[in-house]
Structure 1
């Protein structure tokens, strides 16, 4: 699937869940992740972070009931039990993390200004 087709799919997801994704997040998904089944981003600390493709976003958020616990956030990737999130209500590309078992009970940690800033 090409970049424009992926952007159309992301627009549909935004419409279905009633949100707008950050600009750089959409760019990263359409240009870097594409429709690959697994996309591994190596963070500056050497750890791997798996970024979900557009096909898995809704399913992964439904599986973990993300919007029930933290309605303003979207789970966009994982490193084991550590979830990687974007905030859908602050109009920024900031990336956050939190242990998936602590959703709704602890504040998220800010990891970077966008996905591009996380990688080597």
Structure 2
């Protein structure tokens, strides 16, 4: 798929969840992740994070019932049980993390200023 087709698919995700995705996230997803099934990035802490492509966003968020427990956040990737999120209500590019078993009970940790900064 080309960049515009992926941006169109991300718009479907936005409409389905009634959210607005951050611009840098959409750029990263459409230019780098594209439709790759297992897109990996290395964080500065040496962790490997699997970033979801547009096809997996809705399914992963439904599986973990993210919008039921953390309605302001969207799960965009994970490293084992550690989920990586963006806040879809505050119009920021910040990336957060939280153990998926602790959703709704603990505050998320700020990991990076944006998706590009998450990489080492």
Unaligned runs of at least 5 residues, structure 1: none
Partner of 1:84: 84
TM-score of the two chains, using structure 2 as the length reference: 0.98
SS of alignment partner, residue 36 of structure 1: coil
Q: In the aligned structure 1, how far is the partner of 2:100 from the partner of 2:19? A: 22
For residues 41-97 of structure 1, give each alpha carbon's deviation from its aligned partner in whole angstroms, at most 9, with x where no partner exists.
Answer: 011121100000000000000000001110100000000000000001110110000
1:40 counterpart = 2:40: yes
Partner of 2:108: 108
For residues 18-41 of structure 1, give each alpha carbon's deviation from its aligned partner in whole angstroms, at most 9, with x where no partner exists.
Answer: 111000000010001000011000
SS of alignment partner, residue 37 of structure 1: coil
| Aligned residues between the structures | 120
Q: In the aligned structure 2, how far is the partner of 1:51 from the partner of 1:79? A: 9
TM-score of the two chains, using structure 1 as the length reference: 0.98
Matches within 5 A, 1:1-120: 1-120=1-120
Deviation at 1:5, TM superposition (A): 0.3
SS of alignment partner, residue 55 of structure 1: helix
SS of alignment partner, residue 107 of structure 2: coil
**Pairwise CA RMSD of aligned residues?**
0.6
Unaligned runs of at least 5 residues, structure 2: none
